[in-house]
Amino acid sequence: MEVVEKLIAQDIRAIARAITIIENDEAGKEQLIDEVHPHTGRARVWGITGPPGSGKSTLVNRLIQREREKGHSVAVVAVDPSSPFSGGAFLGDRLRMQKHADDPGVFIRSMATRGHLGGISPATGDTIKILDAAGFETILVETIGVGQSEIEVIQLTDIVLLVLVPGLGDEIQMMKAGIMEIGDVFVVNKKDIDGAERLKSEIEYVLAIQAPGSTPHPVALVSARTDDGIDALLDTIYEYYEQLCENGCLEDKRKERVKKHITAIFSYKVHEMLDVHFELSKNLDTWIDMIYRKEVKPYAFINDKIQTFLKECEEDD
Ligand X SMILES: Nc1nc2c(ncn2[C@@H]2O[C@H](COP(=O)(O)OP(=O)(O)OP(=O)(O)O)[C@@H](O)[C@H]2O)c(=O)[nH]1
- Least gap, CB of 311 to Mg ion (angstroms): 55
Letter string b/e over residues 127-159, b meaning 16 or more CB atoms within 10 A of that residue's CB? bbbbbbbbbbbbbbbbbbbeeebbbbbbebbbb
Phi then psi for 23, rounded to 5 degrees?
-60, -40
125 binds, among Mg ion, ligand X, none (CB under 5 to 8 A by kind): none
Q: How far is residue 10 from each of residues 2, 43, 85, 107, 136, measured CA to CA in Å?
A: 13, 14, 22, 10, 9
- Least gap, CB of 52 to Mg ion (angstroms): 8
Using H for helix, E for strand and C for coil, what is the string for 156-219? HCCEEEEEECCCCCCHHHHHHCCHHHCCCEEEECCCCCCCHHHHHHHHHHHHHHHCCCCCCCCE
Task: Report if residue 145 touches Mg ion, rule: CB under 5 A.
Answer: no
Q: Please name the residues in contact with 314: beta carbons below 8 A apart, sequence gap of 6 or more.
A: none
- Least gap, CB of 193 to ligand X (angstroms): 5
52 binds, among ligand X, Mg ion, none (CB under 5 to 8 A by kind): ligand X
Task: Report if residue 189 touches Mg ion, rule: CB under 5 A.
Answer: no
- Mark 201-230 with x for binding to ligand X (rule: CB under 6 A) and - for no binding: ----------------------xxx-----
Which one among 56, 66, 100, 116 touches Mg ion, defined by CB under 5 A? 56
Task: Report if residue 53 touches ligand X, rule: CB under 6 A.
Answer: yes
Q: Cα(205)–Cα(200) distance, rounded to whole angstroms? A: 9
Which one among 83, 86, 98, 148 touches Mg ion, defined by CB under 5 A? 83
Span 83-112, contacts to ligand X by CB under 6 A: 83
Which one among 7, 44, 47, 81 touches ligand X, defined by CB under 6 A? 81
Question: With contact defined as beta carbons under 8 Å apart, do 163 and 230 qualify?
Answer: no
Q: Cα(289)–Cα(262) distance, rounded to whole angstroms? A: 35
Complex with ligand X: residue 62 or 116, whichever CB lies closer: 62
Complex with ligand X: residue 127 or 223, whichever CB lies closer: 223
Which residues form the interface with ligand X (CB under 6 A)? 52-58, 81-83, 144-145, 189-190, 192-193, 223-225
Which residues form the interface with Mg ion (CB under 5 A)? 56-57, 81, 83
